[in-house]
Every structure is written in structure tokens, then in C-alpha cells.
Structure 1
């Protein structure tokens, strides 16, 4: 083997293993979603992500930085799905019902995972300013859309005109959080579907 060949061989062997960053992030989201931040170790993450520790640190920084990225990605994707269900039906009340029903997976194992965002609130509350800021940005966009649909429902005669749209939106959002916590605690799909219908009927004209 020539000196040049040896140099190339060493260079290749020293090069960090390439990996699919998006796939690794998805795996990290699943771990944090299931276990929370404190109960998740770096070893849990590198095993689930199927990467080495050095690749982990090079690509994601540390556990906290990865958690922030994972939570932001989860919340962005979840909010997009929420808005899709809320805004797609022509009927505002149907949109609100679809929004709630969409939080209730039929799969027991998936439903029992609850919501990573709600889990973050349960774990950190308002003690972490960075997480609070992230949450408030997401909530502001979502809340405005819920208010918009409720007011549309009032104009169409579907929603009680005497209902305060801001308060009704807050009611829907708190109901969503309640569903996600109840699911984490083992609530069944049929039970939650019935409660979704009950909640939306409280707004009907």
C-alpha cells in the first residue's frame, strides 16, 4: 500500500459515520414523547437514534438542545395537523369536532403516549423561559384560528351568538389538554369520542 493510499484509508476511517438526521430526530422525538426530558438519558437517545455519541454531539449539541429541537418539531407538526382538521370542513362545528376527535388515536399504545407538548408543561410548567416562549408562539397562532372558526360559526348560525368567541376558544383548548392528559392516564377512545361530541354541543346555537 502506497503512502497516498494509506492517507486516503486513514481519512476514510476517521470520517464520522453519515446518518439520516431527520430520521434520527424522529427517533429522538419518540423517546422524549414516551419518557419526558428528565427520564431520558443520552444513552437512550443514541441507541434509539442509532448514532455514535460523537455524531450525536456534533449534530445536535447536547440533550437539552436536542430536546428543544425535538419539541419544536413535534409542536410545529402537531399544530399543522390541528389546523388542517379545524379548517378543512365547511361547517365550523364539524371543524371543531374533527379537531378534538383527531386527538384520539384508535391504537391504545399510541393514545396512551398522550401529547409531548402537554408532557412538557407537566414536567416544566413555567420554570423554563425558553419552553414558555416556544409554547406561547404556537398557542397564539392556533388560538387565533379557533376564534376565527367560532366567529364564522356564529355568522352561519351554527354557534350560539351569545358565546364569547375568545372564551369558547380557550374552552376548546383546555378540553384538548384534558383529552391528552386523560389519554396518557389510560382513557379509552370511545369515552373520549363521546366527550368530544359533548364539548362541541355546548357551543351549538
Structure 2
């Protein structure tokens, strides 16, 4: 009896993320996945279950990694406004081929909307953590006199989140890096104390 082929599950998952990120769930076939992951169908099913299970794992991994990077850019600078600008600018790759992929999470919202309770629950958990950190940074900016004290921090955090989604959709639609960088600066300036 032949032994099942060994493979690096993390590398296979990374390859699957790239396929789902580029094509979305519906347009990705199992054949697309096994080809990109470099594994056989039986290994695919044994390790990941099915396409939907793999998609959920891929999206969760993507969102965890992306959110970690976003929060690092947001919180690293001493200046809250600089952190907000770094957060937005960090979403904009200079590489056209990478930038036009947009965001896998935003793509998931576009593809599924509110029709999938499991995806909605995953999204809501991630957004709650992210929103709280952005709101906290805005409140810090108000205490330091950088952010307009009349701005509602909760609404401002939602504004930043919607701006991020807009950037990702614009990038997917072909918006250039320079244009998006200018809009990032414009968005952050709306919060600055006068």
C-alpha cells in the first residue's frame, strides 16, 4: 500500500489563500486549489475537509494575519494621527498586481454579504477587536490634542473602517497607489484638531 504524500500544510494553506484572494470562493474550483497547493485530491480532503472548510480556514488565517499587521501599523507610532495614516497607507501596495487584488475579507463581504452566518460571526469578531483599537487610538489623539475633541470616537473609528473597505474596493477596481495615498492623507486630516 502506498504511503500518502507528505506536504507542508502551512505552505498549502498559503497557496490556497492566494487562490481564494484572487478569485473568490465561487470562481475557485477544487482543481484550482489542488494545482496551486501542489497536493492530490485525497490529501486535500484528508487535510482540509472540503472547499468550504478550506475557505473558512484560509479566510480566518488571512484576516488574523492582516489584522495583526494593521494593528501594528496603527499602534507603533507615538502620534495617534501618524498611526492612523500608517494604517491606511499600509493597505496600499506599490505593486500594481498585488494592489489590484484588494482584500480577501472585503471580497468575502462582496461575495456573501449577510447570507452566511458563519462568515458573519467570523467577520464580527475581527471587526470588534479592530474597531476597539482604532477607537482607542482616536481617543488617545483627543487627549493629546491631535484629534478634534468634538469628533465622536466611535463614529470616527467606523469612518476609518469604511474608508479601508473603500480603499480595497477602489484598489480592486484599478485605483493607483498615488491616488489612494492622497485619499489616506485626506481621510486622516478630517480628524485633526483645528
Shorter-chain TM-score bucket reads over 0.9
* 1:154-177 CA-partner distances (Å, limit 9, x unpaired): 000000000000000000000000
Q: 2 CA distance for matches of 1:44 and 1:158?
A: 49
Query: Among 91, 102, 117, which residue is 2:79 paired with?
Result: 91
Query: Among 81, 88, 97, which residue is 1:100 paired with?
Result: 88
Q: Please list every run of 5 or more consecutive structure 2 residues that lacks an aligned counterpart in the other structure.
A: none
- 1:23 and 2:35 aligned: no
Query: Among 38, 52, 61, which residue is 2:49 paired with?
Result: 61
SS of 1:114's equivalent in the other structure is: coil
Match of 2:131 in 1: 143
TM-score normalised by L of structure 1: 0.94
Query: Among 97, 101, 105, which residue is 1:117 paired with?
Result: 105
SS of 1:143's equivalent in the other structure is: helix
Shift of 1:23: 0.2
- 1:200 and 2:178 aligned: no
Shift of 1:94: 0.1
* 1:164-195 CA-partner distances (Å, limit 9, x unpaired): 00000000000000000000000000000000
Q: Please list every run of 5 or more consecutive structure 1 residues that lacks an aligned counterpart in the other structure.
A: 1-9
Q: 2 CA distance for matches of 1:195 and 1:19?
A: 43
- 1:129 and 2:117 aligned: yes
Query: Among 152, 158, 173, which residue is 1:185 paired with?
Result: 173
Task: Count residues with an aligned counterpart.
Answer: 193
Q: Which consecutive aligned stretches of 4+ in structure 1 deviate over 4 angstroms post-superposition?
A: none
Q: 1 CA distance for matches of 2:93 and 2:187?
A: 18
Q: 2 CA distance for matches of 1:190 and 1:147?
A: 27
